[in-house]
Amino acid sequence: MYKVGITGGIGSGKSVVSRMLSDRGVAVYTSDSRAKEIMAADEGVRRELVERFGEKVFEGGVLNRAYLAERVFSSSEELAALNAIVHPVVMADFERWADAEQGDYVVLESAILFESGFDRCVDVAVAVMAPEELRIERVMERDGVTREQVEERIHHQLTDDERCSRSKYAIVNIELDELEDDVEQLHRRLSYDARHQKS
């Protein structure tokens, strides 16, 4: 199965691009939501999380996301420990999922495709970009957060230039109508790439 990684900074619209591809019949694996499901349900992962972060990481058997976020986002060491527990399990889960899918290609959507090493699981990467000011406005409106909070999150992510340099394709998401056309073109290219690789 040909595997495509779609990534982009916060507010870039990578989820919108993934949804448009899904509308075209492409299977999409959303690593962020799947990682949350795995942390909540996988017994081995749950055990490791408790060992590393203490009993507070689960409240009444439910993952205490606020506590975990507080722990890991204030310490790069804690974040690395969390990633070491969760990322290998997510990668293996994605590989199993992809092998069971049909179609020319599948999509792995991840905000941290390169930072997490998930790019090693895919054949090609696509960077979704948008002007920073537009990204800030989108996230403020979507999440009800302050400009400073969004800027802080952007500051901790790779730049568009860094993502672009490591991706085969890039899409700029400003106007929805234009994005629809760009995604259609992208879909055709990826389908061609996938079929070409198989032949």
When the pLDDT of each residue in the chain is averaged and rounded to a whole number, the result is 91
**pTM for this prediction:** 0.88
Give every residue of the chain whose pLDDT is below 50, as ranges.
199
Give, as one character, the DSSP assignment of residue 156: T
Q: What confidence tens digit (pLDDT) does each residue in 59-90 have? A: 888 888 888 888 887 778 888 899 999 999 99
List the Cα angle 42/45/50 in 5-degree steps: 120
Q: What share of the chain in percent tops pLDDT 90?
A: 69
In the sheet with 27-30, reading across from the earlier edge strand, the strands are: 27-30, 105-109, 2-8, 124-129, 169-172
Across the strands, what pairs with 19?
Answer: none
Distances (CA, A) of 105 to 2, 67, 114, 135: 5, 37, 20, 28
What are φ and ψ of residue 178, in 5° steps?
-65, -35
Q: What is the pLDDT of residue 110?
A: 94
> How far is it, in rounded angstroms, from Cα 28 to Cα 5?
10
For residue 148, which amino acid is it?
A: E
Q: What is the pLDDT of residue 127?
A: 97
In terms of phi and psi (left: phi > 0; alpha: psi -120 to 50; beta: otherwise), the region of 130 is beta
Q: What is the pLDDT of residue 69?
A: 82
